[in-house]
Each structure stands twice: as structure tokens, then as C-alpha cells.
């Protein structure tokens, strides 16, 4: 049962082909596939899912990811330069507007760079936690709850995309500006933060549900019925896998979650500027 985990923990000295033992059940793959598709389109996937197998991303994908990162950084640098030119020629220029027009895009670039670096650092753990979830799923047989996770994943992703589309259209309509391709493409690439946040929450909810299911199964031991020793060993091993998955989740997500918290505060500041009616040159950076 632990064979995929053993393979994965040894991948630092093994080629990617070794991970072909990490086959995912159809239900587990369906949960993470929506996130994988959207993040892949945004050049920010955490792993590769192909033919029901999960493996770390290949180096060529990180090359594309780096090009995407470079585009975002260059785009915001260009916008910052234009904003500074606008502020220089404004008669009502103030230090708060000037500070935020620089601070907001720089902070977003830092978040994007951090996401890129952490994806490379935790490329093995990103796969490891999915393999662990797959093993736990097969041990507990939580078919009904998995269907709910699949439906919720698609609904949440659709809501994220619709909300971002609505905000973009609202911004264009209110300020009556032309569609800036460079700006909006860079904005689309930054959807990864909201999607990654939902992804981390979904993983945490799955682990919590698995732990609750494990507790319910343990309660059945009090019914007076005698169970085979193998059954007790299996349940204990499932518990260890749940704890291991929590540890891997903490390792993978704790740094990025902290930065995402700061990033959310930055977005709130940007939205506040938008509501207060500060110049479009500032809100455009946000």
C-alpha cells in the first residue's frame, strides 16, 4: 500500500519515470483535474497528470513558467513607469498615491516570483500529498464525499473566473478606457493566487473529512465484534498516512499562505483605492 510513497520519497536520486507507479484512482484524479487544467493554462501547474499517473513537472514546463513570470514582471514594470510619468505631470499629486502606485505592483510581482520558486522547491511534495490522499481514499472508501468534492471544485473554479471577468468588465465600463491587452493578460496570469488558495482549502477539507471518516470507522470497534488483526493494522496505517499528509501539506503551503494573506491585504488596499475614486492610473496597477 505504501509503495507509491516509498518511490516518491526516493525521487531525488531517481528519474521521473520511477514515478509511473503513482497511479491515481479516477475519483481522486477528477477532484484535482480542474485545478490542474486551469493552472496549466496559466503556466503554474504544480504537477503533471497524464493517463491517470501523477508526476512532477518536466523542466520544459518550468521554462514556460519562467517566461510567464518574466512577462508579468515586465508588464508591471512598464505600468509602474507609466504611472510615475502620470504622477509627475499631475498638479494634485500626493505621497500616498505615489507610494501605492509603486508598492502594489511590486508586491504582486514578489508573490508571483515566490509562487514560481516554491513550485520548484516542493515539486516532489506536491505530488507526494496527492499520492497520500489517493492511498487514504482507497483505505476509507469515501465514494460519496469524493463526488461532492468534484462538484464543488468545478463550481468554485467557475465562480473565480466569473468574478474576475465581472471585475474586469466593471473596471472598463466605469473608467471608459480601451482594453489594454498587456495589462489584462498579466492580470489573468495572476488568477493563480485565488485558484491556489481554493486548491489549498480543498486539500485541507479533504484531509479533515478523511480524519472524521477514520474516527467514525474506529467507533465501530466498540460494537463488540471481533476484527481481524490485519484490519487494525490497516486502520493504524491509514491514520499514519493522514498525519503524514498533514505534515506535507504544512510544508508545502505554510509559506505561500502567509504571503497570500499579505497579498489579500494588498488587494483590499487596491479595491479601497478603486472605491474612493482615486486616479485610474493607480487602480490599474492593482
pLDDT bin (cut points 50, 70, 90) of residue 152 is confident
Domain locations along the chain: 3-283
What the block records as the C-alpha cell of 213 is: 471518516
Sign of CA dihedral 96, 99, 274, 104: negative
Nearest to 130 by CA among 13, 277, 8, 269: 8
Mapping DSSP onto H, E and C, the string for 226-278 reads CCCHHHHHHHHHHHHHHHHHHHHHHHHHHHHHHHHHHHHHHHHHHHHHHHHCC
Range of weakest confidence among 154-168, 203-217, 257-271: 257-271
User: By the 8 A CB rule, do 274 and 286 touch?
Assistant: yes
Predicted confidence (pLDDT) at residue 178 exceeds the cutoff of 80: no
Predicted confidence (pLDDT) at residue 284 exceeds the cutoff of 50: no
Q: What is the pLDDT of residues 236-267, one digit of tens each?
A: 899 999 999 999 999 988 887 777 776 666 66
DSSP line for 31-76: HHHHHHHHHHHTT--SSEEETTEEEPPPHHHHHHHHHHHHHHHHHH
User: By the 8 A CB rule, do 110 and 34 touch?
Assistant: no
Average pLDDT over residues 18-44: 83
Amino acid at each position: 500500500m505504501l509503495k507509491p510513497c516509498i518511490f516518491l520519497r526516493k525521487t531525488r536520486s531517481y528519474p521521473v519515470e520511477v514515478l509511473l507507479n503513482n497511479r491515481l484512482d479516477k475519483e481522486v484524479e477528477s477532484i484535482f483535474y480542474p485545478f490542474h487544467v486551469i493552472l496549466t493554462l496559466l503556466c503554474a501547474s504544480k504537477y503533471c497528470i497524464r493517463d491517470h499517473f501523477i508526476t512532477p513537472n518536466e523542466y520544459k514546463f518550468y521554462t514556460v513558467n519562467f517566461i510567464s513570470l518574466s512577462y508579468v514582471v515586465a508588464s508591471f514594470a512598464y505600468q509602474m513607469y507609466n504611472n510615475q510619468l502620470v504622477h509627475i505631470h499631475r498638479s494634485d499629486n500626493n505621497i500616498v498615491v505615489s507610494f501605492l502606485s509603486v508598492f502594489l505592483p511590486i508586491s504582486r510581482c514578489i508573490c508571483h516570483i515566490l509562487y514560481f520558486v516554491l513550485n520548484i522547491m516542493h515539486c516532489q511534495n506536491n505530488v507526494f500529498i496527492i499520492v497520500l490522499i489517493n492511498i487514504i481514499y482507497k483505505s476509507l472508501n469515501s465514494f460519496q464525499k469524493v463526488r461532492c468534492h468534484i462538484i464543488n471544485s468545478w463550481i468554485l473554479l467557475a465562480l473565480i473566473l466569473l468574478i474576475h471577468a465581472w471585475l474586469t468588465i466593471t473596471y472598463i465600463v466605469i473608467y471608459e478606457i480601451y482594453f489594454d491587452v498587456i495589462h489584462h493578460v498579466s492580470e489573468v496570469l495572476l488568477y493563480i493566487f485565488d485558484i491556489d488558495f481554493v486548491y489549498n482549502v480543498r486539500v485541507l477539507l479533504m484531509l479533515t473529512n478523511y480524519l472524521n471518516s477514520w474516527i467514525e470507522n474506529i467507533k465501530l470497534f466498540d460494537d463488540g465484534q471481533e476484527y481481524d488483526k490485519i484490519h487494525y493494522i490497516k486502520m493504524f496505517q491509514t491514520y499514519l498516512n493522514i498525519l503524514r499528509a498533514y505534515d506535507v501539506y504544512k510544508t508545502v503551503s505554510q509559506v505561500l499562505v502567509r504571503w497570500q494573506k499579505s497579498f489579500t491585504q494588498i488587494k483590499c488596499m487596491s479595491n479601497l483605492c478603486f472605491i474612493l475614486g482615486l486616479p485610474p492610473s493607480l487602480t490599474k496597477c492593482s
